Structure 1
Amino acid sequence: MLKEGTKNLSGVEEAVLKNIDAVKELAKITRTSLGPNGMNKMVINKIGKLFVTNDAATILKELEVIHPAAKMCVLASQQQQEEVGDATNLVVVLCGELLAQAEVLLKMGLHTSDIIRGYEKALELVDDILKKITVKTVESLASPSDISAAIKSAISAKQHGFEDLFAPLVTEACLLVTTGLPHDPREAPPERYSLKNFDAKRFNVDNVRVAKVLGGGISDVKVIRGAIVTRDTEGTIKSLKKAKVGVYASGLEIEKTDTKGKVYVEKASQLENYAKSEEEALEAKIKSIAESGVTLVVSGGNIGELPMHFLEKYKLMVLKTQSKFEMRRVCQVTNCKPMMRIAGPSAEEMGYIDECVVEEIGGTVVTVLRQENSKTGIATILVRAATNNILDDLERAIEAAVNIYKSITKDGAFVPGAGAAEIELARQIRAVGDKTEGQDQYAIKKFAEAFEIVPRILADNAGLDGTKVISTLFAQHESGNTNVGVDVQGGAALVVDAREKDILDHRHNKQRAIELATNAVITILRISQIIMAKTSGVPVPGGGGSGTMGAMDQDD
């Protein structure tokens, strides 16, 4: 019936279990990177670029997974990253463990439909359980200390030991760029800071930037109210205060005609007058910029020698941006509009900056745009480290914390971290499974058992006995201590009160991760047959060999 060369795999052994094995192998790669003591992975991608990181989103992106079932889990993890920017590793780990538990049930003789039905019933319980074990709710942005405590766990998961240093700085940067908040908290009543009717659009994660400069130490991190351009200015003027700003998107060069033309010159005086008229026209334009009050000129394109001469003549500071994104950030900081023509800007097009100064940081010359006395649209966190890999990991840790702040503006509820929430989910869902009749009970219990993988991995990565830690956690939770999680510091008690230590996980992010993982697992379990056409020999965009299923052909 099918074309010659087509492969047809069907049944539990050939289709379902093969997909499960692929996802389990993927989960094995990322599970050792989970938690504060997670190990780094050294990944070299297809163009030879080196990545040393424990960030699951980066690892999965650079691995280029091709197996269709494993790729479903990668897509679920990427969706988690795009939506909330946190708990991407949790999605992959749960996918692998839920499918591992499903494999046990399949070998016991249960049908995939029974497993899917049980998983769906168990998933419905997650939301109510997480609401019951909520231990903290951030209700206002007026207390930076509460926000700082809430985002520490996100930083600790990627840069353990530096959460106390980075959390207050990230909080400060986020509050600076949240629109509608006064410059000084004492200037407004508390209701201005309330999250009850807060519009999440008032905060944009892209407005918190990270500037990376090699050298120095991690403790040299600081927040700058404004932006940093990692290059020197073009002229001799290196410092300005209280400057008016004009931004020119098309660059500063002598204008050229759109079409080709010829100019016939018969005398030397005609050539001299022609060049002089061009110079006079350009000088008039630069003069109009200076007369408008602008003292800082920002160019989005090339700057010619002649325009540079006149800019220096009229004592204008000149800064060239390296990309349209950098120019956009400068416009946000200075509150000005980019112009396509070379002329003096109007009051609406003109911007303002409190200070623009060229500084040398660790041998790197940068231009700093500061807004000290007014609300800024951009806040920049300057980080220092010995290698580019450390700088990249610091940037990912900061981005994770900024995403948690974004989640707080939508929902300020937090559950205990350190595996405490997962153990409580396992305990309560198992209790429901014990009361459930029929074959669904087995899938519900296995769904609950899958959550034990999180505290077990945290314990294993910390060098603790996972089995002993799990039994201790269950004993504590049975006695009513639902906030108790894994002590990754390796204390004698093995466990710690996550609420007291401010080890918190955002409730919505965790719930979303569980939903995405479960939905991906159910989709994989519904696959009963794999039909692979013969590969065409045409390379597939993205690599991985010829044909859509090239990777699976190699397994056979």
Structure 2
Amino acid sequence: MGPNGRNKMIINHLEKLFVTNDAATIIRELDVVHPAAKLMVMASQQQETELGDNTNFVIVFAGALLQKAEHLLRLGLHPSEIIQGYELARDRAMDILKDLKVDHIDDLSNPEQLRKGIRSAISAKQIGNEDLLCDLVVEAATNIMPKNATDFNVDNIRVVKVMGSSLYESKVVKGMVFGREAEGIIQGATKAKVAVFTCPLDISQTETKGTVLIHNAQEMLNFSKDEEKQVEKVFQELADAGVKVVVTGATIGELALHFLNRFNMMAVKVPSKFDLRRLCRVVGATALARLGAPMAEEMGYCDVVETVEIGSDRVTVFRQEENDVSRTTTIVIRGATQNHMDDIERAIDDGVNVIKALTRNGDLLAGAGAVEMQLNKRLQAVAAKTPGLNQHAIKKFAEALEVVPRTLCENAGMDATATLSRLYAAHYQDSDAVATIGVDVENNNDGTLDATKANIFDALSPKYWALKLAADSAITVLRVDQIIMSKPAGGPKPPKQQGHWDQD
């Protein structure tokens, strides 16, 4: 967690290696069996799908809540009392969070403001490269930012990884980039009509096999003439319709390629069906499931389709020149190893997702653990005024929030206890203003800094939902008193043997 969070090396069930500190990825690749742990994993995945950031906050905070609850249970409180207190604390925390906002982003097409919102999300994953990555994400986002910001679609920012060179060679390309070159000899087209197919461009094989007797050389020559004529007819129709670029999600046969080259059409193969759909959206085409000339409204249009070299790799770029037309933009990441580029991609994903969250709610909170400390202080005050046993649970909820600044300190190799006491002192000093003092992981002064001056902000909505999901999953776990597994009785199953091995 945090900018100095260490990486984990995960080898998943397919022996694939991941090196990352992105909680969502780590959890997705783990095979969690314990049902209570699964609840937390599900909460974290929900956070990932909904807002794409603050996934490890969910896990860390839920863990801290359960740890504090254990202490209360030892003291002899009943789980239902703890649950009640936690629920009260959660609802109060939600209300307090909204009061803690320190800044607001109102103009999402302004690069400066966007940068402010996403910088900390990216630097938490990739400290040292955050400015470079911020620039890439902001440029990509402003390229596709619609007039009405709430229509911003995360899917419109693509990431393509090209091995080689260094991260500093990464760039943003308007339009879509595919990491392969065109199939035929035609390598580019401008102001082109595009036909998109999901079927193979090839002669379809018949269902049944047939035997043909050929008597002389003439018959041999005529044998495949008709077939060629059929294929030629299809591509002739395409060429007559004005198609210059043919995209397919399946294979391209040799004969088809020959005619494509002959009619000066560019052929591009896109193996992923998701990318095919996205491309359809970019060029405004309909993917056809059968060969044949598309109707006018099924054809797409693209200003420039070209094969360019990035490093030593040749890639195909679909680019719309007019600014308002380009519905997607691609960030091309360069890097030395696949693992490193994967991690950069995750950081970029987080940045893009935070922009999406900002389109819903542009409020910013102070980062660096300042919000958590302030919440802690306010909730302690609430606990002091609460009669009955609930106050213990509210107090522990407040203390659990301490886990964030503490983790930041520990990961940065600082003395956590000393730094936390300084933070407490700073937050309890002035009561009227919203305190924005957080942990200084760069250790410039006594380990604390003013987060707003240092430009460390957290978006409100991811934080809000993360708090809610973490508290909910902790409460759900507390509500359980027994785990009953329905598993078949008896020992392990006998090994299955090959062949017709009969039970007896």
From 131, 137, 153, give the equivalent of 2:120.
Answer: 153
Aligned partners of 1:388 and 1:524: how far apart in 2? 38
Deviation at 1:69, TM superposition (A): 1.6
Aligned partners of 2:11 and 2:492: how far apart in 1? 25
1:515 aligns to 2:482 (yes or no)? no
From 165, 168, 178, give the equivalent of 1:219.
Answer: 168
From 100, 109, 119, give the equivalent of 1:142.
Answer: 109
Query: Does the residue aligned with 1:158 lie in a helix, a strand or coil?
Result: coil
Match of 2:68 in 1: 101
Letter aligned with residue 383 of structure 2: G
Letter aligned with residue 133 of structure 1: L
Aligned partners of 2:198 and 2:483: how far apart in 1? 53
Match of 1:493 in 2: 446
Deviation at 1:270, TM superposition (A): 4.9
Aligned partners of 1:59 and 1:355: how far apart in 2? 39
Match of 2:27 in 1: 60
Deviation at 1:267, TM superposition (A): 6.3
**1:25-75 per-position Cα deviation (integer Å, ceiling 9, x unaligned):** xxxxxxxxx001100011112222111111111112222121222221111
Aligned partners of 2:348 and 2:90: how far apart in 1? 31
Aligned partners of 1:86 and 1:44: how far apart in 2? 23
Aligned partners of 2:476 and 2:293: how far apart in 1? 60
**1:511-542 per-position Cα deviation (integer Å, ceiling 9, x unaligned):** 11111111111122122234456654568xxx
**1:102-129 per-position Cα deviation (integer Å, ceiling 9, x unaligned):** 1111122222122111111111111221
Q: Contact between 1:290 and 1:316, CA under 8 Å: does it hold in 2? A: yes
Q: TM-score scaled to structure 1, two decimals?
A: 0.83
Match of 1:208 in 2: 157
Query: Does the residue aligned with 1:319 lie in a helix, a strand or coil?
Result: strand
From 462, 479, 484, give the equivalent of 1:526.
Answer: 479
1:434–1:247 Cα change, 3 Å = same
1:538–1:246 Cα change, 3 Å = farther
Match of 2:277 in 1: 328
Q: Contact between 1:203 and 1:406, CA under 8 Å: does it hold in 2? A: yes
Aligned partners of 2:444 and 2:79: how far apart in 1? 42
Q: Contact between 1:251 and 1:301, CA under 8 Å: does it hold in 2? A: yes
Q: Contact between 2:419 and 2:446, CA under 8 Å: does it hold in 1? A: no
1:258–1:46 Cα change, 3 Å = closer
1:40 aligns to 2:7 (yes or no)? yes
Match of 2:55 in 1: 88
Match of 2:398 in 1: 448
Match of 1:243 in 2: 192
Q: Contact between 1:145 and 1:168, CA under 8 Å: does it hold in 2? A: no
Aligned partners of 1:416 and 1:346: how far apart in 2? 55
Aligned partners of 1:140 and 1:273: how far apart in 2? 69
Aligned partners of 2:492 and 2:236: how far apart in 1? 60
**1:117-157 per-position Cα deviation (integer Å, ceiling 9, x unaligned):** 11111111112211111012222323121012101111011
Match of 1:421 in 2: 371
Q: Contact between 2:109 and 2:145, CA under 8 Å: does it hold in 1? A: no
Q: Contact between 1:149 and 1:167, CA under 8 Å: does it hold in 2? A: no
From 253, 276, 279, give the equivalent of 2:202.
Answer: 253
- Map 1:281-320 onto structure 2 (within 5 A): 281-320=230-269
1:502 aligns to 2:455 (yes or no)? yes
- Map 1:338-353 onto structure 2 (within 5 A): 338-353=287-302
Greater CA drift, 255-264 or 96-105: 255-264
Deviation at 1:268, TM superposition (A): 5.2
Deviation at 1:486, TM superposition (A): 0.8
Deviation at 1:482, TM superposition (A): 1.0
Aligned partners of 2:185 and 2:128: how far apart in 1? 43
Q: TM-score scaled to structure 2, two decimals?
A: 0.92
Match of 2:319 in 1: 370
Aligned partners of 1:372 and 1:173: how far apart in 2? 15
Aligned partners of 1:270 and 1:210: how far apart in 2? 53
Aligned partners of 1:367 and 1:461: how far apart in 2? 42
1:534–1:373 Cα change, 3 Å = closer
Match of 1:466 in 2: 416
Over the residues paired in the alignment, what is the CA RMSD in angstroms?
Answer: 2.0
Q: Contact between 1:38 and 1:54, CA under 8 Å: does it hold in 2? A: yes
From 83, 89, 100, give the equivalent of 1:122.
Answer: 89
1:358–1:108 Cα change, 3 Å = same
Match of 1:185 in 2: none
Match of 2:178 in 1: 229
Match of 1:549 in 2: none
Deviation at 1:440, TM superposition (A): 1.1
Letter aligned with residue 437 of structure 2: V
Aligned partners of 1:272 and 1:78: how far apart in 2? 62
Aligned partners of 1:178 and 1:257: how far apart in 2? 49
Aligned partners of 1:452 and 1:410: how far apart in 2? 28
Match of 2:143 in 1: 176
Q: Contact between 1:235 and 1:318, CA under 8 Å: does it hold in 2? A: yes
Deviation at 1:258, TM superposition (A): 5.4
From 40, 56, 60, give the equivalent of 1:73.
Answer: 40
Aligned residues: 488
Aligned partners of 1:64 and 1:255: how far apart in 2? 43
Q: Which runs of 5+ in 2 are unaligned?
A: 494-504
1:51–1:290 Cα change, 3 Å = same
Aligned partners of 2:6 and 2:457: how far apart in 1? 21
Query: Does the residue aligned with 1:496 lie in a helix, a strand or coil?
Result: strand
**1:363-410 per-position Cα deviation (integer Å, ceiling 9, x unaligned):** 322212222224222211100111111111111111111111111111
Query: Does the residue aligned with 1:373 lie in a helix, a strand or coil?
Result: coil
Aligned partners of 2:33 and 2:299: how far apart in 1? 51
Match of 1:8 in 2: none
Q: Which runs of 5+ in 1 are unaligned?
A: 1-33, 182-192, 540-556
Letter aligned with residue 4 of structure 2: N
Match of 1:484 in 2: 437
Letter aligned with residue 337 of structure 2: T
Aligned partners of 2:349 and 2:125: how far apart in 1? 11
Deviation at 1:277, TM superposition (A): 2.6
% identical equivalent positions: 47
Aligned partners of 1:82 and 1:44: how far apart in 2? 23
Match of 1:400 in 2: 350
Query: Does the residue aligned with 1:113 lie in a helix, a strand or coil?
Result: helix
Aligned partners of 1:313 and 1:355: how far apart in 2? 21
Q: Contact between 1:76 and 1:91, CA under 8 Å: does it hold in 2? A: yes
Match of 1:11 in 2: none
Q: Contact between 1:245 and 1:296, CA under 8 Å: does it hold in 2? A: yes
Letter aligned with residue 103 of structure 2: K
**1:451-502 per-position Cα deviation (integer Å, ceiling 9, x unaligned):** 0110011011112111122122222222246111111111123112212222
Deviation at 1:265, TM superposition (A): 6.2
Aligned partners of 1:347 and 1:403: how far apart in 2? 36
Deviation at 1:223, TM superposition (A): 0.8
Q: Contact between 1:286 and 1:342, CA under 8 Å: does it hold in 2? A: no
Aligned partners of 1:75 and 1:341: how far apart in 2? 41
**1:161-184 per-position Cα deviation (integer Å, ceiling 9, x unaligned):** 2221112321222233344x3xxx
1:360 aligns to 2:309 (yes or no)? yes
Letter aligned with residue 157 of structure 1: A
Query: Does the residue aligned with 1:529 lie in a helix, a strand or coil?
Result: coil
